[in-house]
């Protein structure tokens, strides 16, 4: 296992450094990949760890982007403070939805549809509410002077580093929850709510905390993306696109694992961009066809996700060798 960890660490460092060498275009791709990876990981904390599925992460992404954009545009408040405020607001929204779901016993897929409903209502509201720019959105005047404090950079490398920081935060939260007693509570509720309750685990607290964590992290990603584009608009942020993408990334990479969503995003997102660059101009839609086939192929080859599948195989091999296989609990 030591060897595998060594290679994994090497791969992570290479993946972080490669975009710097590959130039502007790939730095932009890497920035988006890091934002998506963080959001996918945040989605996985609720859905993968605790079984609290959300189809409405656009709600959180949008709250984050709009809160920081409005605070900066209207009051000149630093994007970083706006990011924190957006995260707090989205976290509260997540906890409220989690509470509603438990209170009215809306579980599983019905809960996912409930989150989608909230996101769609928010999308309609923002699209028609004039003080938030309605469907025109809000253009953000670039904060001055460029630098880390103003979250503005002359090169794409700066944005990529901020996105990497965001991803590191998401991974730290996911890892901490997974390893802590809280992670056992999450998994207990995911696996069997009745048994979890009998063991004194409160599904309400699990759902609320999971939705708060995923909401806050997703909102931070939204803020960063908003200040990268310097433009926020209802459909890009509140729309279902982000959610669909991150669910796909997480599923392919391995739902319920700490690193699955990141691995899934790191493979699929750049692949999708590359396919678009190669096929996009020639035969319309061909890149999407190939991309779809790639996703289906991944799902067939690794039904439990790439990380889940590979992890299981490594564990089985270690088990046969006489050592302790898999995750040793506790």
Partner 1 sequence: MLLEARAIDAGYGKVPVLHGVALGVAAGECVAILGPNNAGKSTLLKVLSGLVGVWRGNLQFEGADITPDGPSERVRRGLIQVPEGRHVFPDLTVAENLIVGGLRLGSHRARRARLERVYDSFKPLYELRHRPAGMLSGGEQQLVAIARGLMAEPRVLMLDEPSLGLSPVAVDLVFGTLLGLKQESLTMIVVEQNVQFCFDLASRGYVLRQGRVVSQVEAMEHLTADALRQAYLG
Structural contact between residues 22 and 31, judged by C-beta atoms closer than 8 angstroms:
no
Strand partners, 231: 139
Min dist CB 324 to partner 1, Å, is 7
Indicate the residue among 191 and 241 with the shorter CB distance to partner 1: 191
184-213: contacts with partner 1 (CB under 8 A): 184-185, 187-188, 191-192, 194-202
Q: E strand or H helix at 136, and its extent?
A: none
In three-state secondary structure terms, 109 is helix
Residue 231's φ and ψ, nearest 5 degrees, are -160, 125
Instruction: Give how far the C-alpha of residue 261 lies from the chain's centroid of Cα atoms, to the nearest Å.
Output: 8
Among 136, 313, 317, 327, binds partner 1 (CB under 8 A): 327
CA 210 – CA 274 distance, rounded (Å):
34
Nearest distance in Å: CB 320, partner 1: 12
Q: How far is the CB of 199 from partner 1 (least distance, A)?
A: 6
CB nearer partner 1, residue 297 or residue 319:
319
| CA atoms 236, 241, 245, 246: torsion sign | positive
Q: Give the one residue of 10, 23, 108, 181 binding partner 1; rule: CB under 8 A.
A: 181
Which one of 21, 75, 300, 329 is in contact with partner 1 (CB under 8 A)?
Answer: 329
Cβ(144)–Cβ(86) below 8 Å: no
**Secondary structure element (H or E) that encloses residue 26, with its range:** helix 24-44
Closest contact distance (angstroms) between CB of 196 and partner 1 is: 7
Q: Which stretch binds partner 1 (CB under 8 A): 94-102, 114-122, 183-191, 246-254?
A: 183-191
Nearer to partner 1, 181 or 297 (CB): 181
Yes or no: say if 215 and 94 are a contact pair by the CB < 8 Å rule.
yes
Site residues for partner 1, window 301-320 (CB under 8 A)?
Answer: 319
Q: Could you tell me which stretch among 55-63, 136-144, 180-188, 291-299 binds partner 1 (CB under 8 A)?
A: 180-188
Give the number of residues written for the chain.
330
* Interaction of residue 330 with partner 1, rule CB under 8 A: yes
Residue 232: beta bridge partners? Answer: 138
Q: Which stretch binds partner 1 (CB under 8 A): 53-61, 113-121, 160-168, 182-190?
A: 182-190
Q: Nearest 10 degrees: CA dihedral of 124, 213, 46, 299?
A: 80
Phi, psi of 147 (to 5 degrees): 155, 180
The site map against partner 1 for 246-285 (x = CB under 8 A) is ----------------------------------------
Quote the CA–CA distance of 166 and 79 in Å, as a whole number: 14
Q: In degrees rounded to 5, what are phi and psi of residue 299?
A: -65, -35
Query: Least separation, in Å, of the C-beta of 191 and partner 1?
Result: 4
Instruction: Name residues contacting partner 1, limited to 32-71 (CB under 8 A).
Output: none
* Minimum separation from the CB atom of position 255 to partner 1 (A): 11
Q: Which is nearer to partner 1, 155 or 192 (CB)?
A: 192
Nearest approach, Cβ of 66 to partner 1 (angstroms)?
Answer: 37
Please say which residue, 121 or 198, places its beta carbon nearer to partner 1: 198
Torsion of Cα atoms, 47 then 52 then 58 then 61, to 10°: -70
On whether the CB atoms of residues 177 and 45 are closer than 8 A, the answer is: yes
Binding-site ranges for partner 1 (CB under 8 A): 181, 184-185, 187-188, 191-192, 194-202, 319, 324-330
């Amino acid at each position: 296992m030591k060897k595998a960890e060594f290679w994994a660490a090497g791969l992570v460092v290479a993946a972080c450094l490669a975009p710097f060498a590959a130039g502007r275009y790939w730095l932009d791709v890497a920035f988006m990949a890091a934002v998506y990876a963080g959001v996918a990981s945040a989605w996985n904390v609720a859905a993968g760890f605790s079984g609290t599925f959300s189809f409405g992460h656009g709600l959180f992404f949008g709250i984050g982007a709009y809160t920081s954009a409005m605070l900066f545009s209207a009051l000149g408040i630093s994007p970083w403070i706006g990011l924190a405020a957006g995260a707090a607001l989205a976290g509260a929204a997540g906890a409220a939805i989690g509470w509603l779901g438990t209170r009215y016993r809306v579980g599983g897929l019905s809960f996912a549809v409930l989150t989608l409903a909230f996101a769609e209502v928010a999308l309609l509201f923002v699209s028609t509410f004039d003080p938030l720019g309605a469907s025109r959105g809000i253009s953000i005047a670039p904060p001055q002077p460029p630098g880390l404090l103003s979250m503005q950079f002359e090169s794409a490398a700066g944005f990529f580093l901020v996105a990497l920081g965001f991803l590191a935060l998401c991974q730290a939260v996911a890892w901490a929850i997974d390893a802590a007693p809280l992670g056992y509570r999450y998994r207990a509720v995911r696996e069997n709510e009745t048994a979890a309750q009998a063991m004194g685990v409160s599904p309400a607290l699990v759902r609320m905390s999971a939705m708060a964590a995923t909401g806050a992290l997703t909102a931070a990603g939204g803020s960063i993306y908003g200040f990268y584009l310097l433009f926020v608009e209802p459909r890009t942020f509140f729309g279902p696109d982000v959610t669909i993408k991150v669910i796909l990334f997480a599923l392919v990479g391995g739902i319920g694992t700490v690193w699955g969503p990141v691995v899934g995003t790191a493979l699929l997102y750049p692949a999708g961009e590359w396919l678009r660059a190669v096929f996009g101009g020639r035969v319309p839609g061909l890149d999407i066809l190939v991309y779809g086939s790639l996703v289906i192929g991944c799902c067939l080859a690794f039904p439990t996700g790439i990380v889940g599948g590979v992890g299981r195989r490594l564990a089985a091999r270690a088990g046969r060798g006489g050592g302790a296989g898999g995750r040793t609990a506790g």
